[in-house]
């Protein structure tokens, strides 16, 4: 019997972080929420001010035999701009910073190795600022945030600030990155962009 594990990723708006992972085999569930702050049981209205110290995150329950943590990491790096310490794309503020929250020493080791690989790839002009942090108390976001893309029937897409970032992010990982990337991000010309 497989023991399910948890992975916690901050990658900007949690609405945008659900779809890429939920489509994968071995994913038991994804919960949008908050972690890393100094306020207990924060609300979205509090977190969005950027004053609680929380990150918007997704907590993923996964079967490591069907979809190993290494593959989750590969997919995660494809969703973010790891050089941006002020948020992600159009979502600005400390609550939109990127971070990997590890749940054990094995996850910490793999996350640090993955970050080093990204930094050594030569794809980015700026330093990689994505933090690798121990998992902290996770607070599920309000119900209306869960599965938001399904409830609204809207396509939630991200834009990339420049073409170099798009090309760089599309070349990291081992899956068919460019096709995967274009599926979720619109690149330079945005005709159907939605943000909170």
* Tens-digit pLDDT profile for residues 148-160: 556 565 444 444 4
pLDDT of residue 14: 81
pLDDT-derived band at 23, boundaries 50, 70, 90: confident
For the question of residue 13 being annotated catalytic, the response is yes
pTM of the model: 0.77
Own/partner pairs, 117-126, CB within 8 angstroms, 24+ separation: 118/77, 118/82, 118/172, 121/171, 121/172, 123/168, 123/169, 123/171, 123/172, 124/82, 124/83, 124/168, 125/83, 125/164, 126/83
Q: Which residue has the higher pLDDT, 34 or 168?
A: 34
Q: Catalytic residue among 7, 10, 13, 58, which?
A: 13
pLDDT-derived band at 146, boundaries 50, 70, 90: confident
Q: Which residue ranges make up each domain of the chain?
A: 5-184
* Tens-digit pLDDT profile for residues 75-130: 999 989 999 999 888 889 899 999 999 999 999 999 999 999 999 998 999 999 99
* Tens-digit pLDDT profile for residues 24-48: 999 999 999 999 999 999 999 999 9
CATH number of 5-184: 3.30.1060.10
pLDDT-derived band at 142, boundaries 50, 70, 90: confident
């Amino acid at each position: 019997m497989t023991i399910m594990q948890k992975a916690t990723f901050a990658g900007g708006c949690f609405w945008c972080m659900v779809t890429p992972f939920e489509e994968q085999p071995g994913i038991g569930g994804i919960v949008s929420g908050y972690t890393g702050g100094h306020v207990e049981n924060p609300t979205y209205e509090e977190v969005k001010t950027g004053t609680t110290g929380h990150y918007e995150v997704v907590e993923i329950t996964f079967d490591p035999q069907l979809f190993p943590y290494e593959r989750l990491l590969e997919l995660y790096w494809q969703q973010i701009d790891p050089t941006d310490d002020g948020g992600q794309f159009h979502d600005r503020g400390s609550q939109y910073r990127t971070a990997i929250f590890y749940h054990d020493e094995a996850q910490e080791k793999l996350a640090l190795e993955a970050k080093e690989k990204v930094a050594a790839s030569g794809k980015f002009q700026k330093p990689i600022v994505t933090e690798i942090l121990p998992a902290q108390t996770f607070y599920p976001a309000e119900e209306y945030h869960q599965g938001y893309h399904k409830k609204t029937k809207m396509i939630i897409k991200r834009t990339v600030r420049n073409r170099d970032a798009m090309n760089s992010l599309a070349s990291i990982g081992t899956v068919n990155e460019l096709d995967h990337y274009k599926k979720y991000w619109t690149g330079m010309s945005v005709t159907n962009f939605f943000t909170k």
